[in-house]
Copies of this chain bind each other. A is one copy, B any other.
Amino acid sequence: MATNGALRTPAVEDYTKAIFSLESRHDEPVPTKTLAERLEITPGSVSAMLKRLDELGLITHIPYRGVRLTPEGRRIALEVIRHHRLLESYLAEVLGMPWDRVHAEAEVLEHVLSDDLEELIAAKLGHPTVDPHGDPIPTVEYALDERETTRLDELPIGATGRFVRVSDSDPEMLRYLAEQGIALGAELEIVERQPFGGPLFVRFGEETHALGDALTRAMRVEQGEPAA
């Protein structure tokens, strides 16, 4: 009795989200093991779930080769991502929740947000296109506009750019950035790089910060001319 059309549990949504994100990185099928690591469950469990997702028509699973999302699976992933990022935006902007906490909160609420409520909060926010971490918010039609950005650690010495995006998954990192006064939108210049995994020296306005590589790999930069 699969009720109606789609059987969407939080787990199903989490799988499609994970597959979507891993599939976007390198444009090829996602191996079971990669998914298992991402979701922190055993490959065996993942295998079982992939079977279900396949039956639900959300993925195409070629045994021993990996999975891809079907258009329907992609739709669900984008819907949940839209929920997640709208919620993050809402919590931060309207309720003033610190940006290192919004992710965990949204992770729960994303599975429960009704279409009605989604629309109300999107309207309240003026239909934003990016969330507090700079991640693009899919439109109601599930179009996702990924801007061209470069990882901070990949910029050469002397390069300039604007800090426009950062991974939302590590609260520590976000808290650290906030403490250092480094916020999205900041103009920056690469000053110096220490070898052997040493810090990257980056100038933001007057201040120069020594940033570890975990951090610079999580930060993304838009290159090109500064705004003014």
- A residues adjacent to B (C-beta < 8 A): 91, 94-97, 101, 105, 108-109, 112, 114, 116-117, 120-121, 124
Contact = CB atoms under 8 A, between A and B. Distances in A.
Counting chain B CB atoms within 10 Å of each CB, which of A94, A95, A112, A120 scores highest? A95
Contact of A117 (B91, B112, B117, B120): B91
Give the number of copies in the complex: 2
A94 B26 CA distance: 42
Contact of A95 (B97, B105, B108, B120): B120
Contacts of A116: 97, 101, 105
A106 to B, nearest CB: 10
Ranked nearest first, the 8 interchain pairs of A and B with the lowest CB-CB distance are: A95-B120, A108-B112, A112-B112, A105-B117, A95-B124, A97-B120, A105-B114, A109-B112
A121 B95 contact: yes
Contacts of A114: 105, 108
A105 B96 CA distance: 22
Nearest to A96: B120
A227 to B, nearest CB: 32
A93 to B, nearest CB: 12
Given A97-B116, A101-B116, A109-B109, 14 more contacts: A91-B117, A94-B94, A94-B124, A95-B117, A95-B121, A95-B124, A96-B120, A97-B117, A105-B114, A105-B116, A105-B117, A108-B112, A108-B114, A112-B112
A43 B108 CA distance: 32
Contacts of A117: 91, 95, 97, 105
A96 to B, nearest CB: 7
A117 B88 CA distance: 12
A121 B121 CA distance: 14
A98 to B, nearest CB: 10
A112 B111 CA distance: 10
A116 B120 CA distance: 22
A114 B97 CA distance: 12
21 contacts: A91-B117, A91-B120, A94-B94, A94-B124, A95-B117, A95-B120, A95-B121, A95-B124, A96-B120, A97-B116, A97-B117, A97-B120, A101-B116, A105-B114, A105-B116, A105-B117, A108-B112, A108-B114, A109-B109, A109-B112, A112-B112
